[in-house]
């Protein structure tokens, strides 16, 4: 399993390269288009995914890739063997379009349909997170890698992270009403998982739709840091749901039983 950490390190130049593509468009502006489902996409999404797909094919040609943009275009390889990549080249497209820096590059490796390695890069903040084999790390602005871990729930209350643009505030408030909450903050993209993995937050309830490429890398990193992601009934989040077009059920990401 330690090979998975080596694999994550091997992918650092890949997410940096994809991030550089996105930063170029972020600074100069990118044309916004609508996908079939009405969600926005830019040339930055498409070029970053093409770059990642090419790099992954060269590095590990036998592993199929499920990417957000390729699935939208109808390209879905055979993943019945349970080993595949899940890629969201630009998670947080709306934040990208509106000029916020809360967007990320996400790559996850799945084995037996379980996310076992994840890497997330936030180009604007120059923050890198990755995790596998029970160990998670982060680096800020090219600095040294620091080991990170999920924390125990603080006695003075939970720090809860929620989506900026998705979800039902009334349902969230209802879910939290019996919990001791010290702070509620809003973040976009997979950075919510990273906050939990880095010991900066305790609970991320997602009471709204997501797709597997939105969650797999963050799920892997949080697991490696000692946290977990479950459905509302306490079961692990399941991946490889081709019959559901890779849509996730609602879930709770936590650092421990919250």
Closest Cα partner for 142 from 170, 159, 121?
A: 121
> CATH code at 123?
3.30.540.10
127, 148, 169 — which closes off a domain?
148
User: Quick check: helix, strand or coil at residue 78?
Assistant: coil
Report pLDDT digits (tens) over 3-52. Answer: 999 999 999 999 999 999 999 988 887 666 655 555 667 888 899 999 99
Is residue 12 located within the same domain as residue 108? yes
Is residue 60 located within the same domain as residue 107? yes
Residue 35 forms part of a structural domain: yes
148, 178, 197 — which closes off a domain?
148
Predicted model pTM: 0.94
148, 174, 193 — which closes off a domain?
148
Residue 90 forms part of a structural domain: yes
Range of the domain at 138: 2-148
Q: How far apart are CA 225 and CA 229, in angstroms?
A: 12
The more confidently predicted of residues 258 and 113 is: 113
Strands (E), the chain: 32-34, 40-42, 65-67, 84-91, 104-111, 114-122, 127-132, 135-140, 146-148, 158-163, 181-187, 203-206, 228-231, 251-254
Residue 176 forms part of a structural domain: yes
């Amino acid at each position: 399993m330690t090979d998975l950490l080596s694999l994550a390190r091997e992918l650092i130049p890949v997410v940096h390269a994809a991030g550089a593509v996105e930063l170029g468009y972020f600074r100069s502006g990118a044309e916004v288009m609508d996908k079939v489902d009405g969600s926005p996409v830019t040339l930055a999404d498409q070029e970053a995914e093409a770059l990642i797909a090419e790099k992954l094919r060269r590095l590990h040609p036998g592993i199929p890739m499920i990417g957000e943009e390729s699935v939208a275009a109808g390209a879905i390889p055979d993943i019945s063997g349970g080993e595949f990549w899940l890629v969201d080249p630009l998670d947080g497209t709306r934040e990208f379009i509106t000029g916020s820096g809360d967007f990320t590059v996400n790559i996850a490796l799945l084995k037996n349909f379980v996310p076992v390695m994840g890497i997330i890069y936030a180009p604007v903040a120059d923050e890198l997170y990755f995790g596998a084999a029970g160990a998670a790390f982060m680096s800020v602005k090219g600095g040294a890698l620091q080991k990170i871990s999920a924390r125990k729930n603080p006695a003075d209350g939970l720090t809860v992270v929620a989506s900026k643009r998705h979800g039902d505030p009334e349902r969230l408030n209802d879910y939290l009403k019996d919990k001791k909450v010290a702070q509620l903050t809003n973040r976009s993209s997979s950075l919510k998982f990273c906050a939990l993995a880095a010991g900066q937050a305790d609970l991320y309830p997602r009471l709204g739709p997501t797709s597997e490429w939105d969650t797999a890398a963050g799920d892997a990193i949080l697991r490696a840091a000692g946290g977990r992601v479950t459905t509302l009934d306490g079961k692990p989040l399941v991946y490889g749901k081709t019959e559901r077009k890779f849509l996730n059920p609602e879930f709770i990401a936590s650092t421990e039983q919250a």
